[in-house]
Amino acid sequence: MIRYKTRGDFVTMESLKRYVLLSLFLFSIANPLSASVTHYSIPEEMKEGSVVANLATDLTLDIKTLNQRKMRLDIIANKKYLDVNKETGELYVVEKIDREHICNTKSSCYIKLEVILESPLRIFNIEIEILDMNDNAPQFRRDAIHLDISEVTPRGERFSLSNAVDPDVGSNSVKTYHLSESEYFNIEVQTGRDGSKFAELILTKTLDREQQAVHNLILTAVDGGTPARSGTASVIVHILDTNDNPPTFDKENLSVNLMENSPIGSLVVHLNATDLDEGSNSDISYSYSLYTSEKTQETFNLNPATGEVTVKGMLNYEDFRIYDMEVIATDKGATSLTGQCTIKILVEDMNDNHPEISIKSFQSPVTENIELETVIAVVSVSDKDSGDNGIVDLHVPDNMPFKLRESSDNYYELVVSEPLDREKVPEYDITFTVTDRGSPPLSDNETMTLELLDVNDNVPQFPQSFYTIRVMENNAPGALLSSLTAFDPDLHENQYLVYFIIEKEIANTSMSMLFSINPENGNLYALKTFDYEIEKEFLFHIEARDSGSPPLSSNVTVHIIIVDQNDNAPVIVSPWRAQGSVVEEKIPRSTDKGSLVAKVIALDTDSVHNSRITYQFLQVTDATLFSLDQYNGEIRTMRMFSYRDPRHQRLVVVAKDNGEPALSATVTIKLTTMETAVKAYSDMTEEPLEYDIFSDINLYLVIGLGSVSFLLLITILVTIVIKCQKPKPSKAAPPSRNSVISERNSTIADSTLVSNDAYWYSLFLAETRKGKLVVRQPLPKGSRYIVSSIPRGTGLTDTSDSAASTLQVWRNKE
């Protein structure tokens, strides 16, 4: 069902039949051409496909024969907006119909159609009336309406405004007008002879252009449709000026003080008159009145266009002291209006002779260390005026290290009042200013330049008093370490600096053999490659000396810090083994869960960060049987041995440091389980030193170890004596350490749990749990064992992973 809108109401297709006017319902059967006309009325803007009427029903035609009779529709003198459905006989809309496009502004609008059928030939005349809808808003021909109204226009005057146009007809056309709120204007709606509506603008209040020159109004046209549509236009009213305001001065009476001898052309006063009118009514010209004397008009000039009063003749206070003038301002309106101003000019006496300065003596240049109260210049002053105008005062700037000292009448000496420093101020522009006491005072000045000569009074200065320089070990010889540049504010040879290292010996080595400094620019170089494990820091002084006479110098402290590199691999010191050998240990199969079976200890001679060691299994026969503490290297059982476990267990432990890249060392431990019941020392504690270590079981072993150790000690003592006779210490062994090499058979840090020397191993495990390394060494007869604990962080020097372990030993003789 199709709905459409007409006159603001929506109707159904069934109610559309009420608009269909069937003027002739009977047809002549005998005559094939019928002259009767069928009328229909439809609203414009119906949607495409909307049904207008059923022609077959209205014309009493058989629907079944419409195709056979070739029913067609012809539109006379119009575009084909309609068509007929041959299947149903319905007349429907093909294209939207715009009434304003078809019929323009006609009050009635029709479309004429012919329905033609053949066999037999029949022609039906159809007339369709297009009803108007309110689909167009009123429009003004121009968006802005301009009106020019004189400000003297009387109230009630009317002005025609252009009307709005609405393409719709009837009640949908323009019905009325509205004007925006205004206290000066109103409108009245009029009806033309053709029924069109237009508005007239009515002046309701007297206008004043000086208060408001332009009035902006909004005119709205409203049609009579439902809902109503509207259109707007701007009404711009320009108020035309009339000459109703006279010129006015800022001040009607002026008094001006003017100095005598003012130059010709000097501005005395600038008169300004204003007129509120516009155009020629506000153009003003200035002139003298008849009351102005000839003397005044000869002495002063009045510019008629700008109102400027300037000096025209010479002014002399003794001849004429007061001038009176009256100036008239006249506008250029049709009826001229005028305003006037009275001016009194008072001539003042002036000090017209300047004081004079004469430099009798001036000494330049001078050295910066010149003594105080030394005379630099002699100056005289004078003034030709008399009285106060002839009294003069001489002064120099207060911010300079100089002062004036009066020597006699009008003679002054310039002396040094403060110490001079060329480095702060290299020269002074001294301005001598002389001023008389006239009103207004006159002055004169003279500027002299005093140059200062440099003396060597500044020591070289370093930006810092202490330099800390970090040098990575293994540096290349000749590498630039830093640039230590000093500054001397003096000039020429007094600022030329030479750098050198103050000699100092460290371990019989001179600093000049380790470092070099460029004497010209202060670049510091390393002369050798440094090793952090041997030399960790250097402290010395560098001196900068100028070339003055006498020379001045200063020094700076330099702290060289050698930064460690990870260039030393960890060394396995426990359990000890010969190069490439496997450590063999024996443990009972009855060992409990959590028992300590071995402990791996590695040492790294690098710095604390690079020497931080962690342990981990590289290979293990049974990963479920043993655990390794990554920090202390303790290997413990995770469970008890079973009959299925193999008798031999192979453990490969890697010790890795914390350097970048990390270095490592490995040790292979072969564990053999024994069926004999041997006590496992998993929770051993430290025993008294008086414990009898020479049991029957290990007597022969200790005797053998003692003999070997005695021979080893003799060898080490001989080596130390030989090295002490050399002029320089060996890099492989620092002079602060006495080291002995422990052999595997000496049982130093032996990790075998079930060994013949159970006491020493228990003591070793107890001390290592406290973070210490236990060392025992058999001594010659007459001595007793002293057990020492070395903290884990103690650095030992090793040449490689396979090198023998180096441990420190103390001996205490009875």
- The label of the residue with tokens 């003999």 reads 707
Cα separation of 129 and 106, whole Å? 12
Strand order in the sheet with 110-117: 33-43, 122-131, 110-117, 72-75
3-state DSSP call for residue 396? coil
Residues 151 and 227 in one domain: yes
R_g of the chain, CA atoms, integer Å: 62
Residues 371 and 439 in one domain: yes
3-state DSSP call for residue 717? helix
Cα separation of 468 and 556, whole Å? 11
Whether 161 contacts 198, CB under 8 Å: yes
Q: What is the pLDDT of residue 730?
A: 37
Cα separation of 42 and 47, whole Å? 11
Residue 711 lies in a domain: no
Q: What is the pLDDT of residue 676?
A: 59
3-state DSSP call for residue 799? coil
Per-residue tokens: 390: 């002839």
Per-residue tokens: 21: 């006017």
Residues 187 and 165 in one domain: yes
Domain final residue pick, 674, 701, 732: 674
Residues 329 and 379 in one domain: no
CA distances from 330 to 265, 288, 326, 333, 369 (A): 24, 11, 13, 9, 75
Residue 484 lies in a domain: no
Write the DSSP assignment of 182-229 as a string of letters. -SSEEEEEEE-TTS-EEEEEEE-S---TTT-SEEEEEEEEEESSSS--
Residues 340 and 371 in one domain: no
Residue 27 lies in a domain: no
Main-chain phi, psi angles of 548, to 5 degrees: -75, 180
- Model confidence pLDDT, tens digit, residues 21-65: 333 333 333 344 445 788 888 888 888 888 888 888 888 888 888
Whether 570 contacts 665, CB under 8 Å: yes
Per-residue tokens: 86: 């041959």
Report CA torsion sign: 133, 135, 138, 140: negative
Write the DSSP assignment of 133-182 as a string of letters. -S----EESSSEEEEEEETTPPTT-EEE-PPEE-SS-GGGSEEEEEE---
Q: What is the pLDDT of residue 438?
A: 85
Main-chain phi, psi angles of 258, to 5 degrees: -135, 130
Residues 74 and 107 in one domain: yes
Residues 218 and 288 in one domain: no
Cα separation of 326 and 209, whole Å? 31
Residues 192 and 157 in one domain: yes
Whether 432 contacts 448, CB under 8 Å: yes
Residues 576 and 664 in one domain: yes
Residue range of the domain that includes 91: 38-127
3-state DSSP call for residue 222? strand
Residues 273 and 217 in one domain: no
Residues 143 and 116 in one domain: no
Whether 355 contacts 436, CB under 8 Å: yes
Residue 770 lies in a domain: no
Q: What is the mean pLDDT of each run of 10 residues along the chain (814 residues)?
A: 32 38 34 65 86 86 84 77 86 84 79 86 87 83 89 88 82 86 90 83 88 90 86 90 87 90 91 88 90 91 94 84 92 87 87 86 90 92 78 91 89 92 90 89 91 88 92 89 89 89 76 88 90 87 90 92 84 74 82 87 81 87 86 89 85 86 86 66 39 47 77 85 59 33 31 34 41 38 35 34 31 32
Whether 223 contacts 230, CB under 8 Å: yes
CATH of the domain at 115: 2.60.40.60
Residue 186 lies in a domain: yes
- Model confidence pLDDT, tens digit, residues 293-333: 999 999 999 999 999 999 999 888 767 889 999 999 999 88
Domain final residue pick, 624, 659, 674: 674
Q: What is the pLDDT of residue 298?
A: 92
Q: What is the pLDDT of residue 99?
A: 81
- Model confidence pLDDT, tens digit, residues 439-480: 888 899 999 999 988 888 888 999 998 999 999 888 888 889
Look up residue 247 and give its DSSP letter: -
Q: What is the pLDDT of residue 20?
A: 38
CA distances from 298 to 292, 323, 431 (A): 11, 11, 44
Q: Report the domain count for the chain.
A: 5
Per-residue tokens: 261: 């001898």
Cα separation of 126 and 149, whole Å? 58
3-state DSSP call for residue 258? strand
Cα separation of 131 and 16, whole Å? 12
Domain final residue pick, 674, 697, 721: 674
Cα separation of 550 and 361, whole Å? 33
Q: What is the pLDDT of residue 21?
A: 35
Residue 165 lies in a domain: yes
Q: What is the pLDDT of residue 618?
A: 85
Residue 514 lies in a domain: no
- The label of the residue with tokens 């290349």 reads 476
